[in-house]
Structure 1
Amino acid sequence: MSGLIRQIFNTRMLVSLLMGFACGLPLLLTISLLQAWMRQEGVDLATIGLMALVGLPYTLKFLWAPLLDRYTLPFLGRRRGWMLVAQLCLMAAIVGLGFTQPAQQPTMVALVALLVTFFSATQDILVDAYRREDLSDEELGLGSSLYVNGYRVGMLLASGGGMILADHISFTMVYMVMAGTMLLGVFTTLLCHEPPHPGGTPRTLKEAVVEPFVEYFQRSGALGLLAFVLLYKIGDSMASTMTTPFYLDLGFSKTEIGAVVKLFGFWATIAGGLLGGIIILKQGIRRCLWIFGVLQALSTAGFAVLAGLGHHLTGLAAVIAFENLTSGMGTAAFLAFMASLTDRRFTATQYALLSSLIGVPRVLASAPTGWMAQVMGWQGFFVFCTLAAIPGLVLLLRYAPLRDPAGPK
């Protein structure tokens, strides 16, 4: 028991939590908070909609990740040096965004917001690589869960906290406050240690660009592993896309949705991530992928049950609690497994590529969900989303078999 406590309460886990917060905070500064500011300034909806394009760096971050694997700055080490530079540039970009004028200079707003997302995506690359290199395979589950929980708290502060602050101070000052909050990430970078790099580093830029892909695709079953990464959470993602219209169609008020789904659901997800990380410490990543994958599918089926119950507040609370709890668990195991697939020489590039790819099926599979719900009805739609989890579980038979000690841990 004392060993488990030492694994949970140590400096490495605290760094994962704080770095997650630093990565989650900037995300919504260029989405919900900026949208609110632009709308308040009278910017038209078409322009606000186009601002979604500034989020492209989060999808394309694998393009410059090889540079971060190849080159090491002359201070703080391979990961921490780049992290400090990215965080300081990110703070400056957030300050710059606060001094733009959305109504008069929408193009300038877009350019500065693009800088924010670029440096934010760069920080994500480095923090993901740092976490993989700092934690052992056994610690990856809990470390990933704490990172995700910190990420969600950062998002909550930027969106909810930012909106509340904007009712009392100017948006310019709100962005100043958010930039100052990023100092927590800077101090964490300065005080944490540089992880070891026993596998060495790429010797040339060509090696940093080409070798991560060559190394990955030379593995046995590389395409199948990639298919698993793409499919493991696809049913969960499809279902979550349409939950808000679903709640409204069942007759739940916006207050009920806000109180139960957003607030209660947020803490259920936090609890699920933490609980999932602790269970992974005891059971291992491989077994937990099975456990949490099955629980995720069952939680999606819960929405089909709720569709039959109709407007039932207790039923809504039960479904939300179970779905968010299992989603938090599944995310912790999934991120840990994905990190375990990377080669330590090319952690930044391989993890950036995998994390970028998981967004592809989420977007493509989510696009027709409204039409599917319309044709199938809510119950049929959520049953379909439950069945969509099966391909990912089938792939687990090969790539994470329960009884194969040689499989991914």
Structure 2
Amino acid sequence: MSRSLSIIWLFGLISGFNIMITGNTLNYWLAKENIALQTIGLLSLITLPYSINFLFAPIFDSLRIKYLDKIFGHRLSWICLTSIALVFFVYILSFLNPFDNLLLFASISLIISFFSSMQDTILSAFRTEIVNKESLGFASGIYIFGYRFGMLIANSGAIYLSIYLTFNEIYKIFAILIFVYLILLIVGVKYFNSFNVIEEKTYSSHTSSSHLHLSLYHSNTSLCHSRTSLCHSRGGGNPVNNINFIKRYYNHLGKSLSSYILKIFLDSRLRGNDIGKSENDLSLLSFIVLILIFLILYRLPDNFINVMINPFLLHLNYDAFEIASVGKFWGVMGAIVGGLIGGFIMKKKNILDSILLFGIIHALAHILFIILKIYGKNSTLLFITIGAESITGGMTMTAYIAFISSLCQGKFRATQYSFFSSMMGISRSIFPIISGYIVVNFGWQNFFLFTTIITIPSLLVLLKIKNKLQQ
């Protein structure tokens, strides 16, 4: 069991490391090169593949790589292929300069983001196959720990290294590390665990399924009980079955939005009541749309700030060491603490009340950035600001994920969760593209005031949702 957990930790490390390559670390590189703020905001679209990776999941889940599959097995062969692609494109990126050829730089970064998001999907599926159902909760904690550690290496560690190295050199190191992680993973999976048995069992029939329990949360209301399973039907080793499965999957996704949403939610239950019984289809659809609007709006302030935080700190003349240690490392620690605090509070309060409370507190924390801008560079104030922002942010994220999970009920849980998660991705990848324009045209103080104010619509929508649930 301990060996399996070591592999799970490595899964988390790889996923956390990869997401930073085209995430906050790339954002810092762009800011350091004095790329225009409008462009930095626009390039948040690079992370879009993480928002739509569920569209491509069936391909990796059902198709086998002819030669690698015989050597490494189904999952590991896809991990090998995506890792090699990542090594290749990250190495190419290490020779580019965003200031000289921004279009090529952005294109390669988007390709890296695509392969990184695909590998994240594959690792998640692999993880569900090697962890016993009874150990899922503890294994998830190990995975998150590895994920945060990987983020620290690729973000805080990279920014610290930028004191001594160029980002071109750092990204060459990234390419090497991705290859090292692949070797460690192959050794761990093939020689320290008997995962081949699992692969044989998994593919012994033409159709099988894997289950991903995304979260398990208990509180004092029925909304606080969440458990999500993700089931992938495979076509086994038969190419015709594989192709037919993929066609059926995309035909399902190709339906109109209204019928799609109604189909997956007519089977849902909130607070133990079947909404489909008491409301007509139009009313149900409007309620679901209300939820989707909330999911997009609630995390919007954070997503705006995350895109502009590096340019802001550099604007205040904080150096790489201060940004790496306080802005990044302390920020991650604060988010972990905030998650624990949020979980403790949610044992006493229901999810909707917690979301409302945490949202208000987190919005007030944004004001500290305005104070920081007024006072200028101040290490103590930076520590307080990042601490308050990350701790309250961790609290809101805990409640947010619990809310999403609580909405997923019935036999379409997986589809519901994927759909909800894509809304979160839209909020992270698409809307922040205007963040740079806001800063340039209205200034930093008004930008952070804006991020505080746009919290209000999401909370008003939340109150509307709460009233509907209480009717």
Q: TM-score range by the shorter chain?
A: 0.5 to 0.7
Check 1:398–1:124 CA distance in 2 against 1; reply closer, same or farther (3 A cut).
farther
The question of 1:156 aligning with 2:152 is answered: yes
Per-residue deviation, 1:377 = 3.7
* Match for residue 59 of structure 1 among 51, 54, 62: 51
Give the letter aligned to residue 177 of structure 1. Answer: V
Check 1:359–1:398 CA distance in 2 against 1; reply closer, same or farther (3 A cut).
same
Report 1:222-371 matches (<5 A): 222-281=288-347, 283-343=349-409, 345-371=411-437
Per-residue deviation, 1:226 = 0.6
Per-residue deviation, 1:389 = 0.4
Q: Secondary structure at the match of 1:25?
A: helix
Q: Which moved more, 1:312-321 or 1:89-98?
A: 89-98
Per-residue deviation, 1:326 = 1.1
| Larger gyration radius, structure 1 or structure 2 | 2
Check whether the contact 1:96–1:112 (CA below 8 A) recurs between aligned residues: no
Per-residue deviation, 1:229 = 0.8
Q: How many residues align?
A: 374
Check whether the contact 2:4–2:193 (CA below 8 A) recurs between aligned residues: no
* Match for residue 463 of structure 2 among 367, 374, 397: 397
Quick one: distance in 1 between partners of 2:433 and 2:90?
33
Q: Secondary structure at the match of 1:373?
A: helix
Per-residue deviation, 1:297 = 0.8
Quick one: distance in 2 between partners of 1:16 and 1:342?
25
Quick one: distance in 2 between partners of 1:325 and 1:365?
24
Give the letter aligned to residue 182 of structure 2. Answer: A
- The aligned counterpart of 1:178 is 181
**TM-score, reference length from structure 2:** 0.59
What whole-Å deviation, never above 9, does each CA across 1:98-136 have from its counterpart, x for those lacking one? 8879769x9xx9999878655542454467689999999
What whole-Å deviation, never above 9, does each CA across 1:264-298 have from its counterpart, x for those lacking one? 22322232234334444554533332232122111
The question of 1:215 aligning with 2:263 is answered: yes
Check whether the contact 2:20–2:151 (CA below 8 A) recurs between aligned residues: yes
Quick one: distance in 2 between partners of 1:339 and 1:12?
26
Report 1:109-128 matches (<5 A): 117-118=113-114, 120-125=116-121
Q: Which runs of 5+ in 2 are unaligned?
A: 30-39, 65-72, 199-209, 214-228, 235-244, 267-275, 277-283
Per-residue deviation, 1:318 = 0.8
Give the letter aligned to residue 319 of structure 1. Answer: T
Q: Which runs of 5+ in 1 are unaligned?
A: 1-9, 38-48, 74-80
Check whether the contact 1:54–1:110 (CA below 8 A) recurs between aligned residues: yes
Per-residue deviation, 1:346 = 4.5
Check 1:262–1:171 CA distance in 2 against 1; reply closer, same or farther (3 A cut).
closer
Per-residue deviation, 1:182 = 4.3
- The aligned counterpart of 1:379 is 445
Check whether the contact 1:286–1:402 (CA below 8 A) recurs between aligned residues: no
Check whether the contact 2:370–2:449 (CA below 8 A) recurs between aligned residues: yes
Q: Secondary structure at the match of 1:26?
A: helix
- The aligned counterpart of 2:238 is none
Check whether the contact 1:129–1:351 (CA below 8 A) recurs between aligned residues: no
Check 1:297–1:99 CA distance in 2 against 1; reply closer, same or farther (3 A cut).
closer
Report 1:71-82 matches (<5 A): none
Check whether the contact 1:145–1:274 (CA below 8 A) recurs between aligned residues: no
- The aligned counterpart of 2:33 is none
- The aligned counterpart of 2:17 is 25
> RMSD value over aligned CA atoms?
5.3
Per-residue deviation, 1:25 = 2.6
Check whether the contact 1:16–1:143 (CA below 8 A) recurs between aligned residues: yes
Report 1:183-202 matches (<5 A): 190=195, 195=211
Per-residue deviation, 1:338 = 2.2
Check 1:251–1:233 CA distance in 2 against 1; reply closer, same or farther (3 A cut).
same
**TM-score, reference length from structure 1:** 0.67
